[in-house]
């Protein structure tokens, strides 16, 4: 009788544990994350259409740290913020800079990296440096709706600014001689000119960021008012910086710490 009673208690306890486990699983934070898939090495698409890159690996590490169930989807850059506002996904991890203009529309986590902009030109270019004076009268390609395009319009008004939907398109035009120079993140341009596809060109130099335009770095983007989710991402960023996971991902892609100065 005692054995039967104990068995019944054990079965009841096991059933309760399974029920609680299922309840906790159902309560797991579910997050749909968007990225562009056209901005290597930060985010790109594999031949079979899967997202890869620094942004994606960081996103997965943050989700693991938060014990969240995350799915990743692609979204064209120009429609990224409107789609976020329309609840098509919960967050964006796509090298989106934390700028004053964007903060009017969305909220951000703390930065997860911060690298300076640069200008690349054909190897036989006669442009001497990255100053607006040297680029005066020259055509300058840049991806539209970015902090780089805002900076180009504000500081390089003497240049003919050409806006492109993606980085791949301005790269194609400068490599074919249709424009004189391009502006983007130094890491994006450096890895491109070091590849066969970018063998046409060289880095002319880096540009000192303007905090009012470029902001303090790239952060995880969330819908305006969703500060609870932004805070969770910020805490997870701090945690992976501390436990070494960030360095592991960083070193997979870069030879230096792209996080920049500690806040």
61-109 pLDDT tens trace: 999 999 999 999 999 999 999 999 999 999 999 999 999 999 999 999 9
pLDDT at 13: 47
Per-residue buried b or exposed e for 199-220, using 16+ beta carbons within 10 Å of the residue's own CB? ebbebbebbebeeebbbbbbbb
Please compute the mean of the pLDDT values over residues 217-229 and round it to a whole number: 98
Kindly tell me if the per-residue pLDDT of 169 is higher than 70. yes
Kindly tell me if the per-residue pLDDT of 262 is higher than 60. yes
Kindly tell me if the per-residue pLDDT of 14 is higher than 50. no
Q: Identify the residue whose tokens are 């701090």.
A: 238
Q: Rounded to an integer, what distance in angstroms lies between the CA atom of residue 119 and that of residue 103?
A: 26
Please compute the mean of the pLDDT values over residues 127-145 and round it to a whole number: 98
Q: Rounded to an integer, what distance in angstroms lies between the CA atom of residue 22 and that of residue 219?
A: 33
Q: Rounded to an integer, what distance in angstroms lies between the CA atom of residue 214 and that of residue 146?
A: 9
Please compute the mean of the pLDDT values over residues 32-46 and round it to a whole number: 97
Residue 183 β-bridge partners: 119
Kindly tell me if the per-residue pLDDT of 1 is higher than 50. no
Please compute the mean of the pLDDT values over residues 235-262 and round it to a whole number: 96
Q: Which of 48, 51, 46 has the alpha carbon at shortest distance from 70?
A: 51
pLDDT at 28: 79
Residue 255: Cβ within 10 Å count? 7
Kindly tell me if the per-residue pLDDT of 37 is higher than 80. yes
Q: Which of 116, 146, 139, 123 has the alpha carbon at shortest distance from 39?
A: 146
Average model confidence (pLDDT) for the chain?
92
Q: Identify the residue whose tokens are 């424009």.
A: 179
Strands (E), 59-190: 69-74, 91-92, 106-113, 117-122, 139-143, 160-164, 181-185
| Span of 18-22, 43-47, 208-212, 217-221 with lowest mean pLDDT | 18-22
pLDDT digits (tens, 9 = 90+) for 200-214: 999 999 999 999 999
| Span of 3-17, 94-108, 234-248 with lowest mean pLDDT | 3-17
Distance of CA 77 to the CA centre of its chain: 11
Taken in order of first residue, the domains within the chain and their CATH numbers are 28-114+216-253 (3.40.190.10), 117-213 (3.40.190.10)
Kindly tell me if the per-residue pLDDT of 11 is higher than 90. no
Total residue count of the chain as it appears in this document: 263
| Burial tier of 2 (Cβ tally within 10 Å: 0-12, 13-18, 19+) | exposed
Q: Rounded to an integer, what distance in angstroms lies between the CA atom of residue 151 and that of residue 94?
A: 19
Residue 108 β-bridge partners: 221
pLDDT at 121: 98
Please compute the mean of the pLDDT values over residues 4-17 and round it to a whole number: 46
């Amino acid at each position: 009788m005692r054995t039967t009673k104990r068995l019944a208690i054990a079965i009841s306890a096991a059933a309760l544990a399974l029920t609680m486990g299922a309840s906790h699983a159902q309560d797991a934070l579910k997050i749909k994350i968007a990225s562009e898939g056209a901005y290597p090495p930060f985010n790109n698409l594999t031949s079979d259409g899967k997202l890869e890159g620094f942004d994606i690996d960081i996103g997965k590490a943050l989700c693991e740290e938060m014990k969240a169930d995350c799915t990743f989807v692609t979204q064209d850059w120009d429609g990224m913020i409107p789609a976020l506002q329309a609840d098509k996904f919960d967050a964006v991890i796509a090298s989106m800079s934390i700028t004053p203009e964007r903060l009017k529309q969305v909220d951000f986590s703390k930065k997860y990296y911060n690298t300076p902009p640069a200008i690349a030109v054909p190897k036989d270019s006669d442009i001497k440096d990255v100053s607006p004076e040297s680029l005066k009268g020259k055509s300058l390609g840049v991806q539209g709706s970015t902090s780089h395009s805002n900076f180009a319009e504000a500081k390089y008004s003497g240049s003919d600014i050409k806006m492109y939907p993606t980085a791949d398109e301005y790269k194609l035009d400068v490599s074919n001689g249709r424009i004189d120079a391009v502006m983007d993140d130094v890491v994006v341009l450096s890895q491109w000119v070091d590849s066969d596809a970018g063998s046409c060109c060289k880095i002319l130099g880096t540009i000192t960021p303007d905090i009012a335009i470029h902001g303090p770095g790239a952060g995880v983007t969330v819908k305006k008012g969703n500060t609870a989710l932004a805070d969770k991402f910020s805490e997870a960023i701090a945690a992976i910086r501390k436990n070494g996971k960030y360095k592991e991902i960083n070193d997979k892609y870069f030879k230096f710490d792209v996080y920049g100065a500690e806040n």
